[in-house]
A = this chain, B = another copy of it.
Amino acid sequence: MTEREYLILIGKNITKIRKQRGITSKELGYQCDMEKSNLIPIEKGRINTTIGTLIKIAKALDVDIADFLKR
C-alpha cells in the first residue's frame, strides 16, 4: 500500500464518518478549528497531513484515530 493510497483511505474514512454524523465539511472544520480549504483536500487524500490534525478530527467525530486506518 503506497503513501497516496493510505492518505486516500484515511480521507474516505473521515468523509464516511462525517456523513454518518450528518454534518457538513464546514461544520466539521469549525469543530476542529480548521479551514475547509485544508479539510477537504485531507478528505480527498491530497495532503500528507499530521497526526495532530487527525487527532483533532477524530475528537470532533468522537472516534479513535485507528478508525481512520481501517479498510
Contacts and interface: CB of A to CB of B under 8 A. Distances in A.
A37 to B, nearest CB: 18
A19 to B, nearest CB: 22
Q: Chain A's interface: helix, strand, loop or mixed, by majority? A: helix
A23 interface: no
Which of A49, A55, A64 has its CB near the most chain B CB atoms (within 10 A)?
A: A55
A34 interface: no
A69 interface: yes
Contact of A51 (B54, B56, B66): B54
Contacts of A62: none
Interface of A: 3, 6-7, 10, 48-52, 54-56, 64-66, 69
